[in-house]
Amino acid sequence: MIEASVPGKLYIAGEYAVVEPGYPAILVAVDQFITVRVNRAQQVGTIQSAQYRDLPVRWTRKNDRMIIDVRDNPFHYILAAIRMTEKFAKEKGRELDFFDLKVESELDSSNGRKYGLGSSGAVTVATVQVLGKFYKLDLQPLEVFKLAALAHHEVASNGSCGDLAASCFGGWLAFSTFDDDWLHQKMDKCTVAELLKLDWPKLSIEPLAVPKDLRLLIGWTGQPASTTNLVDQVSEAIQTHQEEYQSFLQASRACVDEMIRGFKADDIKRIQTMIRRNRALLQQLADFTGVKIEISDLTKMCELAEEFHGAAKSSGAGGGDCGIAILDKKAGILPLVSAWEKAEITPLPLHVYFYPQTKEENREPQRRTS
Protein backbone atom coordinates (compact mmCIF):
# COMPACT_ATOMS: atom_id res chain seq x y z
CA MET A 1 0.00 0.00 0.00
CA ILE A 2 1.13 3.54 -0.81
CA GLU A 3 -0.35 6.60 0.85
CA ALA A 4 -0.12 10.39 0.90
CA SER A 5 -1.54 12.76 3.53
CA VAL A 6 -1.87 16.48 2.93
CA PRO A 7 -3.19 19.30 5.13
CA GLY A 8 -6.24 21.47 4.65
CA LYS A 9 -6.07 25.24 4.42
CA LEU A 10 -7.56 28.49 5.66
CA TYR A 11 -7.42 31.90 4.05
CA ILE A 12 -6.18 34.68 6.30
CA ALA A 13 -6.54 37.63 3.89
CA GLY A 14 -6.92 38.55 0.22
CA GLU A 15 -10.04 36.57 -0.65
CA TYR A 16 -11.82 37.20 -3.95
CA ALA A 17 -9.00 39.45 -5.23
CA VAL A 18 -6.73 36.37 -5.26
CA VAL A 19 -8.65 34.82 -8.16
CA GLU A 20 -7.07 37.51 -10.36
CA PRO A 21 -3.50 36.74 -11.52
CA GLY A 22 -0.85 38.51 -9.45
CA TYR A 23 -3.10 39.69 -6.61
CA PRO A 24 -1.77 38.37 -3.28
CA ALA A 25 -3.41 36.48 -0.46
CA ILE A 26 -2.17 34.94 2.78
CA LEU A 27 -3.05 31.35 3.70
CA VAL A 28 -2.13 28.74 6.26
CA ALA A 29 -2.04 24.97 6.11
CA VAL A 30 -3.84 23.39 9.08
CA ASP A 31 -3.26 20.09 10.83
CA GLN A 32 -6.37 18.31 9.58
CA PHE A 33 -5.61 15.99 6.69
CA ILE A 34 -6.89 14.16 3.68
CA THR A 35 -5.20 10.80 3.17
CA VAL A 36 -5.29 8.94 -0.13
CA ARG A 37 -4.13 5.32 -0.31
CA VAL A 38 -3.55 3.16 -3.36
CA ASN A 39 -3.10 -0.58 -3.72
CA ARG A 40 -2.15 -2.28 -6.94
CA ALA A 41 -5.14 -4.02 -8.53
CA GLN A 42 -5.80 -6.51 -11.34
CA GLN A 43 -7.96 -5.81 -14.40
CA VAL A 44 -10.23 -3.30 -12.66
CA GLY A 45 -9.65 -0.49 -10.14
CA THR A 46 -11.87 1.28 -7.63
CA ILE A 47 -12.20 4.74 -6.07
CA GLN A 48 -13.74 4.94 -2.60
CA SER A 49 -14.53 7.72 -0.16
CA ALA A 50 -17.00 7.45 2.69
CA GLN A 51 -16.88 11.22 3.17
CA TYR A 52 -18.16 12.13 -0.30
CA ARG A 53 -20.88 9.56 -1.03
CA ASP A 54 -23.67 11.77 0.34
CA LEU A 55 -22.64 15.02 -1.34
CA PRO A 56 -25.47 16.82 -3.14
CA VAL A 57 -25.22 17.22 -6.89
CA ARG A 58 -25.63 20.93 -7.61
CA TRP A 59 -27.21 22.06 -10.84
CA THR A 60 -28.58 25.20 -12.46
CA ARG A 61 -30.26 26.21 -15.71
CA LYS A 62 -28.87 27.99 -18.76
CA ASN A 63 -31.26 28.64 -21.62
CA ASP A 64 -33.72 26.19 -20.05
CA ARG A 65 -31.09 23.41 -19.98
CA MET A 66 -30.10 21.70 -16.76
CA ILE A 67 -26.38 22.20 -16.14
CA ILE A 68 -24.65 19.96 -13.58
CA ASP A 69 -22.01 21.83 -11.56
CA VAL A 70 -19.16 19.36 -11.01
CA ARG A 71 -16.91 21.86 -9.18
CA ASP A 72 -18.23 21.10 -5.69
CA ASN A 73 -17.80 17.35 -6.15
CA PRO A 74 -14.35 16.11 -5.08
CA PHE A 75 -14.67 12.98 -7.24
CA HIS A 76 -14.27 15.11 -10.35
CA TYR A 77 -11.04 16.55 -8.95
CA ILE A 78 -9.80 13.06 -8.09
CA LEU A 79 -10.48 11.86 -11.63
CA ALA A 80 -8.84 14.94 -13.16
CA ALA A 81 -5.80 14.49 -10.90
CA ILE A 82 -5.52 10.83 -11.97
CA ARG A 83 -5.76 11.74 -15.65
CA MET A 84 -3.17 14.53 -15.38
CA THR A 85 -0.67 12.54 -13.29
CA GLU A 86 -0.98 9.49 -15.53
CA LYS A 87 -0.50 11.66 -18.60
CA PHE A 88 2.77 12.88 -17.07
CA ALA A 89 3.69 9.29 -16.11
CA LYS A 90 3.23 8.13 -19.72
CA GLU A 91 5.44 10.99 -20.92
CA LYS A 92 8.07 9.71 -18.48
CA GLY A 93 7.84 6.21 -19.96
CA ARG A 94 5.88 4.60 -17.14
CA GLU A 95 3.47 1.78 -17.95
CA LEU A 96 0.01 2.55 -16.58
CA ASP A 97 -1.42 0.07 -14.11
CA PHE A 98 -4.63 -0.72 -12.22
CA PHE A 99 -5.09 0.41 -8.63
CA ASP A 100 -7.65 0.75 -5.86
CA LEU A 101 -7.75 4.29 -4.47
CA LYS A 102 -9.30 5.13 -1.10
CA VAL A 103 -9.81 8.59 0.41
CA GLU A 104 -10.08 9.36 4.12
CA SER A 105 -10.77 12.92 5.25
CA GLU A 106 -10.48 14.85 8.50
CA LEU A 107 -11.63 18.07 6.82
CA ASP A 108 -15.26 17.64 7.79
CA SER A 109 -17.08 17.43 11.13
CA SER A 110 -17.99 14.05 12.62
CA ASN A 111 -21.49 14.31 11.14
CA GLY A 112 -20.13 15.11 7.66
CA ARG A 113 -20.67 18.88 7.67
CA LYS A 114 -17.77 20.67 6.06
CA TYR A 115 -15.56 23.18 7.86
CA GLY A 116 -14.33 24.97 4.72
CA LEU A 117 -10.76 23.69 4.94
CA GLY A 118 -10.27 23.14 1.22
CA SER A 119 -11.21 19.49 0.71
CA SER A 120 -11.33 19.70 -3.10
CA GLY A 121 -7.83 21.16 -3.21
CA ALA A 122 -6.42 18.78 -0.61
CA VAL A 123 -7.83 15.66 -2.28
CA THR A 124 -6.41 16.79 -5.62
CA VAL A 125 -2.94 17.30 -4.14
CA ALA A 126 -3.07 14.02 -2.21
CA THR A 127 -4.12 12.13 -5.34
CA VAL A 128 -1.24 13.61 -7.34
CA GLN A 129 1.20 12.84 -4.52
CA VAL A 130 0.14 9.24 -4.04
CA LEU A 131 0.16 8.45 -7.77
CA GLY A 132 3.54 10.17 -8.05
CA LYS A 133 4.77 7.59 -5.54
CA PHE A 134 2.87 4.76 -7.24
CA TYR A 135 4.52 5.51 -10.59
CA LYS A 136 7.89 6.49 -9.02
CA LEU A 137 7.84 10.00 -10.53
CA ASP A 138 9.91 11.66 -7.75
CA LEU A 139 7.69 14.76 -7.79
CA GLN A 140 8.84 17.94 -6.04
CA PRO A 141 6.24 20.12 -4.26
CA LEU A 142 6.10 22.74 -7.04
CA GLU A 143 5.55 19.97 -9.60
CA VAL A 144 2.75 18.56 -7.44
CA PHE A 145 1.19 22.03 -7.27
CA LYS A 146 1.35 22.46 -11.05
CA LEU A 147 -0.14 19.02 -11.75
CA ALA A 148 -2.93 19.72 -9.26
CA ALA A 149 -3.51 23.14 -10.84
CA LEU A 150 -3.74 21.53 -14.29
CA ALA A 151 -6.35 19.14 -12.88
CA HIS A 152 -8.36 22.07 -11.46
CA HIS A 153 -8.08 23.81 -14.84
CA GLU A 154 -9.56 20.69 -16.46
CA VAL A 155 -12.53 20.78 -14.06
CA ALA A 156 -12.95 24.52 -14.88
CA SER A 157 -12.58 25.52 -11.24
CA ASN A 158 -13.15 29.22 -10.57
CA GLY A 159 -10.76 29.24 -7.62
CA SER A 160 -7.28 30.70 -7.31
CA CYS A 161 -5.46 27.41 -6.50
CA GLY A 162 -4.24 28.94 -3.24
CA ASP A 163 -5.64 25.89 -1.42
CA LEU A 164 -3.38 23.70 -3.58
CA ALA A 165 -0.34 25.75 -2.57
CA ALA A 166 -1.16 25.43 1.14
CA SER A 167 -1.60 21.66 0.82
CA CYS A 168 1.67 21.33 -1.13
CA PHE A 169 3.96 23.58 0.92
CA GLY A 170 2.41 23.88 4.40
CA GLY A 171 2.95 26.66 6.94
CA TRP A 172 2.07 30.32 6.37
CA LEU A 173 2.18 31.42 2.74
CA ALA A 174 1.88 34.55 0.68
CA PHE A 175 0.32 33.45 -2.61
CA SER A 176 -0.74 34.95 -5.91
CA THR A 177 -2.12 32.91 -8.76
CA PHE A 178 -0.86 32.40 -12.30
CA ASP A 179 -2.16 33.79 -15.58
CA ASP A 180 -4.85 31.29 -16.50
CA ASP A 181 -5.10 32.54 -20.10
CA TRP A 182 -1.37 31.91 -20.56
CA LEU A 183 -1.77 28.39 -19.16
CA HIS A 184 -4.72 27.67 -21.43
CA GLN A 185 -2.65 28.64 -24.49
CA LYS A 186 0.37 26.64 -23.35
CA MET A 187 -1.69 23.50 -22.67
CA ASP A 188 -2.50 23.32 -26.39
CA LYS A 189 1.19 23.46 -27.34
CA CYS A 190 3.21 21.83 -24.55
CA THR A 191 3.50 18.42 -22.98
CA VAL A 192 2.78 18.15 -19.27
CA ALA A 193 6.49 17.69 -18.61
CA GLU A 194 7.25 20.91 -20.49
CA LEU A 195 4.57 22.79 -18.54
CA LEU A 196 6.06 21.67 -15.23
CA LYS A 197 9.46 23.08 -16.19
CA LEU A 198 8.15 26.53 -17.17
CA ASP A 199 7.89 29.52 -14.85
CA TRP A 200 4.19 30.35 -14.73
CA PRO A 201 3.61 34.10 -15.12
CA LYS A 202 2.26 35.90 -12.03
CA LEU A 203 2.51 32.78 -9.83
CA SER A 204 4.12 33.45 -6.46
CA ILE A 205 4.34 31.14 -3.45
CA GLU A 206 6.36 32.60 -0.59
CA PRO A 207 6.71 31.13 2.93
CA LEU A 208 6.16 33.64 5.73
CA ALA A 209 7.89 33.69 9.10
CA VAL A 210 5.39 34.36 11.89
CA PRO A 211 5.82 36.64 14.92
CA LYS A 212 6.47 34.36 17.89
CA ASP A 213 3.68 35.94 19.97
CA LEU A 214 1.04 35.77 17.22
CA ARG A 215 -1.86 33.42 17.87
CA LEU A 216 -4.35 32.26 15.27
CA LEU A 217 -7.83 31.24 16.44
CA ILE A 218 -10.39 29.63 14.17
CA GLY A 219 -14.13 29.79 14.79
CA TRP A 220 -16.68 27.64 12.97
CA THR A 221 -20.20 28.94 12.36
CA GLY A 222 -21.67 25.48 11.80
CA GLN A 223 -23.11 26.69 8.48
CA PRO A 224 -21.54 25.18 5.34
CA ALA A 225 -20.98 27.43 2.33
CA SER A 226 -20.22 26.79 -1.35
CA THR A 227 -17.11 28.68 -2.45
CA THR A 228 -17.75 28.02 -6.13
CA ASN A 229 -21.30 29.36 -5.89
CA LEU A 230 -20.26 32.51 -4.01
CA VAL A 231 -17.37 33.23 -6.40
CA ASP A 232 -19.77 32.74 -9.34
CA GLN A 233 -22.18 35.26 -7.80
CA VAL A 234 -19.43 37.83 -7.33
CA SER A 235 -18.06 37.22 -10.84
CA GLU A 236 -21.50 37.83 -12.34
CA ALA A 237 -22.16 40.96 -10.27
CA ILE A 238 -18.84 42.68 -11.06
CA GLN A 239 -19.67 42.72 -14.76
CA THR A 240 -21.80 45.79 -14.07
CA HIS A 241 -19.56 47.19 -11.30
CA GLN A 242 -16.14 47.21 -12.94
CA GLU A 243 -15.03 50.55 -11.51
CA GLU A 244 -15.83 49.50 -7.93
CA TYR A 245 -14.24 46.10 -8.54
CA GLN A 246 -10.99 47.56 -9.83
CA SER A 247 -10.83 49.82 -6.79
CA PHE A 248 -11.40 46.78 -4.56
CA LEU A 249 -8.58 44.89 -6.29
CA GLN A 250 -6.08 47.71 -5.84
CA ALA A 251 -7.06 48.23 -2.21
CA SER A 252 -6.83 44.49 -1.50
CA ARG A 253 -3.35 44.32 -3.04
CA ALA A 254 -2.17 47.27 -0.93
CA CYS A 255 -3.71 45.76 2.21
CA VAL A 256 -2.21 42.28 1.78
CA ASP A 257 1.20 43.65 0.74
CA GLU A 258 1.23 45.73 3.93
CA MET A 259 0.22 42.66 5.95
CA ILE A 260 3.10 40.70 4.41
CA ARG A 261 5.43 43.51 5.46
CA GLY A 262 3.95 43.16 8.95
CA PHE A 263 4.92 39.50 9.02
CA LYS A 264 8.43 40.29 7.85
CA ALA A 265 8.77 43.06 10.46
CA ASP A 266 7.48 40.82 13.30
CA ASP A 267 4.70 43.41 13.83
CA ILE A 268 1.48 41.88 15.18
CA LYS A 269 -0.26 45.28 15.49
CA ARG A 270 0.29 45.98 11.80
CA ILE A 271 -1.02 42.54 10.88
CA GLN A 272 -4.14 43.09 13.01
CA THR A 273 -4.72 46.52 11.45
CA MET A 274 -4.63 44.97 7.98
CA ILE A 275 -6.96 42.13 9.05
CA ARG A 276 -9.51 44.80 10.00
CA ARG A 277 -8.85 46.64 6.75
CA ASN A 278 -9.37 43.46 4.72
CA ARG A 279 -12.63 42.76 6.54
CA ALA A 280 -13.86 46.25 5.64
CA LEU A 281 -12.88 45.72 1.99
CA LEU A 282 -14.82 42.45 1.85
CA GLN A 283 -17.84 44.25 3.32
CA GLN A 284 -17.54 46.86 0.55
CA LEU A 285 -17.37 44.06 -2.04
CA ALA A 286 -20.50 42.54 -0.53
CA ASP A 287 -22.28 45.89 -0.65
CA PHE A 288 -21.77 46.58 -4.36
CA THR A 289 -22.21 42.96 -5.52
CA GLY A 290 -25.14 42.10 -3.24
CA VAL A 291 -23.42 38.84 -2.22
CA LYS A 292 -23.67 37.94 1.46
CA ILE A 293 -20.07 37.30 2.52
CA GLU A 294 -20.14 38.02 6.26
CA ILE A 295 -23.21 36.30 7.67
CA SER A 296 -24.52 37.21 11.12
CA ASP A 297 -22.61 34.45 12.92
CA LEU A 298 -19.37 35.67 11.38
CA THR A 299 -20.19 39.23 12.43
CA LYS A 300 -20.80 38.02 15.98
CA MET A 301 -17.50 36.11 15.91
CA CYS A 302 -15.58 39.19 14.75
CA GLU A 303 -17.21 41.54 17.26
CA LEU A 304 -16.36 39.21 20.15
CA ALA A 305 -12.76 38.99 18.96
CA GLU A 306 -12.51 42.78 19.02
CA GLU A 307 -13.79 42.83 22.61
CA PHE A 308 -10.87 40.61 23.60
CA HIS A 309 -8.16 42.56 21.75
CA GLY A 310 -8.20 40.45 18.60
CA ALA A 311 -8.67 41.28 14.94
CA ALA A 312 -11.00 38.97 13.03
CA LYS A 313 -12.69 38.39 9.67
CA SER A 314 -14.35 35.74 7.58
CA SER A 315 -12.06 33.16 5.99
CA GLY A 316 -12.30 32.18 2.36
CA ALA A 317 -15.45 33.01 0.42
CA GLY A 318 -17.49 33.57 3.58
CA GLY A 319 -21.20 32.85 3.59
CA GLY A 320 -20.63 30.48 6.52
CA ASP A 321 -17.83 28.02 7.27
CA CYS A 322 -15.01 29.56 9.36
CA GLY A 323 -13.68 32.89 10.50
CA ILE A 324 -10.21 33.65 11.83
CA ALA A 325 -8.90 35.87 14.61
CA ILE A 326 -5.35 37.14 15.13
CA LEU A 327 -4.28 37.85 18.70
CA ASP A 328 -1.15 38.66 20.65
CA LYS A 329 -0.67 35.80 23.10
CA LYS A 330 0.05 38.39 25.82
CA ALA A 331 -3.60 39.42 25.62
CA GLY A 332 -4.75 35.88 26.43
CA ILE A 333 -6.96 33.67 24.27
CA LEU A 334 -9.07 31.67 26.74
CA PRO A 335 -11.58 34.48 27.43
CA LEU A 336 -12.30 34.77 23.69
CA VAL A 337 -12.66 31.01 23.33
CA SER A 338 -15.22 31.01 26.16
CA ALA A 339 -17.12 33.94 24.65
CA TRP A 340 -17.31 32.19 21.27
CA GLU A 341 -18.62 29.02 22.86
CA LYS A 342 -21.35 30.96 24.68
CA ALA A 343 -22.32 32.54 21.37
CA GLU A 344 -22.46 29.08 19.72
CA ILE A 345 -19.34 29.70 17.65
CA THR A 346 -17.25 26.52 17.76
CA PRO A 347 -13.51 27.11 18.34
CA LEU A 348 -11.68 24.57 16.20
CA PRO A 349 -8.60 23.02 17.84
CA LEU A 350 -6.46 23.48 14.74
CA HIS A 351 -2.82 24.42 14.45
CA VAL A 352 -0.70 25.58 11.54
CA TYR A 353 0.93 22.57 9.88
CA PHE A 354 4.54 22.65 8.66
CA TYR A 355 5.97 19.83 6.56
CA PRO A 356 9.09 18.24 8.05
CA GLN A 357 12.08 19.26 5.94
CA THR A 358 14.29 16.51 4.57
CA LYS A 359 17.65 16.71 2.86
CA GLU A 360 16.33 14.93 -0.20
CA GLU A 361 13.26 17.09 -0.64
CA ASN A 362 13.33 20.50 -2.25
CA ARG A 363 10.30 22.44 -1.02
CA GLU A 364 11.46 25.69 -2.60
CA PRO A 365 8.39 27.42 -4.08
CA GLN A 366 8.13 29.77 -7.03
CA ARG A 367 8.53 33.36 -5.88
CA ARG A 368 7.01 36.40 -7.49
CA THR A 369 8.92 37.47 -10.58
CA SER A 370 6.55 40.06 -12.02
Reported as a single tens digit per residue, the pLDDT across 226-256 is 888 899 999 999 999 999 999 999 999 999 9
| Closest by CA position to 81, among listed 140, 17, 129, 116 | 129
Mean pLDDT of 2-9: 96
Confidence band of 158 (pLDDT split at 50, 70, 90):
confident
Specify the DSSP class assigned to residue 315: -
* pLDDT higher than 90, residue 76: no
Cα separation, 142 vs 138, in Å, equals 12
What is the structure's pLDDT at 360? 46
The pair phi, psi for residue 35, each rounded to 5°, is -115, 130
* pLDDT higher than 70, residue 145: yes
Ordered by where they begin, the domains of the chain are: 2-207 (3.30.230.10), 214-347 (3.30.70.890)
Report pLDDT digits (tens) over 284-332. Answer: 999 999 999 999 999 999 999 999 999 999 999 999 899 999 999 988 8
From 221-225, 250-254, 274-278, the region with the lowest mean pLDDT: 221-225
What is the structure's pLDDT at 96? 94
Summary mean pLDDT of the chain = 90
For residues 364 and 45, which has the higher predicted lDDT (pLDDT)?
45
pTM of the model: 0.90
HSE of 119 in the Cβ direction (CA atoms, 13 Å)? 27
